[in-house]
Amino acid sequence: MAASSRALVLRLYRALLRESQRFSGYNYRTYAIRRIRDAFRENKNIKDSEKIEELLNKAKANLEVIHRQV
């Protein structure tokens, strides 16, 4: 993975965690944080650039959903 892609993924990861911290309900907040961490850990060894791009787009869409809900 190129350095710029790595930086983009880390920036997206931090943004997802930061935004999910804004949930007022404890259960929603902890569920979102757990799902984000698990998803990134599960997919950290993927090398296929098309799959990475697909996962990044999915994460960006999830960030927008979280942003609308909080």
What amino acid occupies position 33? I
Q: pLDDT-based confidence at 68, cuts 50/70/90?
A: very high
- The pLDDT score that the predictor gives to residue 31 is 97
pLDDT of residue 1 exceeding 60: no
Q: What is the mean pLDDT of residues 22-28?
A: 96
**Could you say which DSSP state residue 24 is in?**
S
**39: region left, alpha or beta (phi > 0 left; psi from -120 to 50 alpha):** alpha
Smallest CA-to-CA distance from 52 within 61, 64, 40, 63 is with: 40
| Cα–Cα distance, 26 to 23 (Å, whole number) | 7
Q: Does residue 21 contact residue 29 with C-beta atoms inside 8 Å?
A: yes
Predicted confidence (pLDDT) per residue in 28-67, tens digit: 999 999 999 999 999 999 999 899 999 999 999 999 999 9
pLDDT of residue 7 exceeding 60: yes
- The pLDDT score that the predictor gives to residue 58 is 95
Map out the domains of the chain as residue ranges: 2-68
